[in-house]
Amino acid sequence: MASAYRDVSFVPSHLGRTDIVENADGFIFTIDTPGMTKRDLKVKVKDRVLHVSGDRKFESGYSESKYLMSERSHGKFARSFIIPDGCDVKNTNAYCDNGVLVVVIPKADPDSLESEVVIQCGSEEGTGELNAEFESIPISIFPVPAIGKVVVINSDTPIIEAVKTLSHFQILSAPVRDITKPDDAAWTEKYLGMVDMVGIVFHMLDILGNPQDFETEMEKTQAFHKTTVAQVTGFAKLGPFVPVEYDRGNLLDAMLLCGQHNIRRVPVVKSPGGDLVNIITQSALIQTLFANLDRFSTVANKCLLELGLGGPSNVFKVTNDDTLRTAFNIIREKDVSAVPVVDSKTGRIVGNISARDARYIVGSNKIVKLLSMPIRDYLEIVTERVDNTAITCSPKDSLRAVIQSLVKSRIHRIYLTKADGVPIRVISLRDILVKFTKEPEGYFGHYFLY
């Protein structure tokens, strides 16, 4: 890269590895900082040089044990990058999320040659002040499914039939029942996992590839349609089956699992026997927060900037001239549930593509051609548009306002945009949930069995 380059070495070798991207708005530095939060990092711009440093402490936690293997890195690192002329150093933003530090330096006439940068942290937990409140609410407060039972898909169901079932009940995921196990089997044996639209998208792209002739296209389409959900559930991207007990579980359990542990859907089982009685989704938790915003106002009334959700972050996006396949490839490669669609000329957000869109194309014998369709045409011709609407917010909006927008629109993500409508960040349901809770040390113990 000609206009910004690396200058200082770093230690250890895989802490601080950096990508630098230049676009029309400025420079984006993406730096690997595994296991660190904003408290472990420092960012400063001085004399046209961006300085980034961090320290990952070694904490074994095993006072009376000896290590048989120790490969995880710890120690200090420091990186420096020369900043080109014409940058607005004063408005540098830094954001830390899931062990990745992102520093954004806008292009503009500089007002200052030096700036201390406040690092925001979008995935950092809340204070825990509401933990007791959530723990006092039993998991039984959630109504059972309106259809009277949880939708379960048998392990020998072809993908195309599974998609039809999910679409019919307007859900994105369902537990997979191992048909080789008896009815009285424990839940640990009875359920293989959660099949969902995201996993189906991953599998679809792996199987179909990009055939160049009609005969190959049809063969691959048929092979995809004949795949059973049992063959899909082995993929790492699919959701695990991690339940809470109906009689003992509480709202804090579900908040922590869906928030801090990023489990999209939490099954509720009855013991003994492990009968499945409910599924708690991230969306259901957001609706619960919405119904009790006054009760949780100490967090809900804070603005996005106060909560570390008001700054720029990596936004993986597509233009309306790109193909649907491009959007699905980004969903798979970047491990996100959706991507915003921006106008190819202005950069303004005009729509949204998510794994939910798979339901429109999976059942077609022209699946490959649909994947090659420009998103502009797809949004205008194929979809119902409701699911592809993009809702937006500003850094000074309160979390209360964001939750209200999500619930009202029934959409699962909201985009933070600049004044000109260009998206700079996505705020997911998980981002919101983690702000209301803090996981107590050892809370789940040996809970996780997957």
234-238, 251-255, 376-380, range with the lowest pLDDT: 234-238
Per the CB < 8 A criterion, the answer to whether 259 and 444 are in contact is no
Give the CATH number of domain 138-289; options: 3.50.50.60, 3.40.30.10, 3.10.580.10, 3.40.1160.10.
Answer: 3.10.580.10
Cα(354)–Cα(413) distance, rounded to whole angstroms?
A: 10
Give the pLDDT score at 264.
85
Q: Which residues contact 287 (CB under 8 A, 6 or more apart)?
A: 407
The mean pLDDT of the chain is 81
Q: Above 70 in pLDDT, residue 291?
A: yes
Task: Please give the pLDDT value at position 103.
Answer: 86
Computed on alpha carbons and rounded to an integer, the radius of gyration of the chain in Å comes to 23
Q: Rounded to whole angstroms, what are the CA distances from 192 to 169, 175, 231?
A: 21, 7, 10
pLDDT of residue 146: 55
- Mean pLDDT calculated for residue range 442-450: 59
Percent of the chain with pLDDT over 90: 27
Q: What is the mean pLDDT of residues 80-94?
A: 81
Rounded mean pLDDT of 231-254? Answer: 77
Q: Three-state SS string across 388-422, please?
A: CCCCEECCCCEHHHHHHHHHHHCCCEEEEECCCCC
What is the pTM (predicted TM-score) of this model? 0.71
Whole-angstrom Cα distance, residue 158 to residue 163?
9
Give me the residue spans of the domains in the chain: 18-60+70-121, 138-289, 297-435
Helix/strand/coil for 155: coil
pLDDT of residue 82: 85
3-class state of residue 240 by DSSP: coil
* pLDDT at residue number 1: 40
Place domain 297-435 in its CATH homologous superfamily: CBS-domain (3.10.580.10)
Whether residue 372 is predicted with pLDDT greater than 80 in this model: the reply is yes
Do 18-60+70-121 and 297-435 share a fold? no
Q: What Cα–Cα distance (Å) separates residue 441 from each residue in 59, 369, 438, 444, 445?
A: 15, 51, 9, 8, 9
Comparing 408 with 89, the larger pLDDT belongs to: 408
Question: Would you state the pLDDT for residue 9?
Answer: 46
The span from the CA of 296 to the CA of 324, in Å, is 40
Using DSSP's 3-state secondary structure scheme, residue 127 falls into coil
- Cβ proximity of 25 and 88 under 8 Å: no
Structurally, what CATH architecture does the domain formed by 18-60+70-121 represent?
Sandwich (2.60)
Helix (H) or strand (E) holding 188: helix 187-190
381-428, pLDDT tens digit by residue?
866 655 678 899 998 899 999 999 999 988 889 999 988 889 988 999
The pLDDT of residue 189 is 84
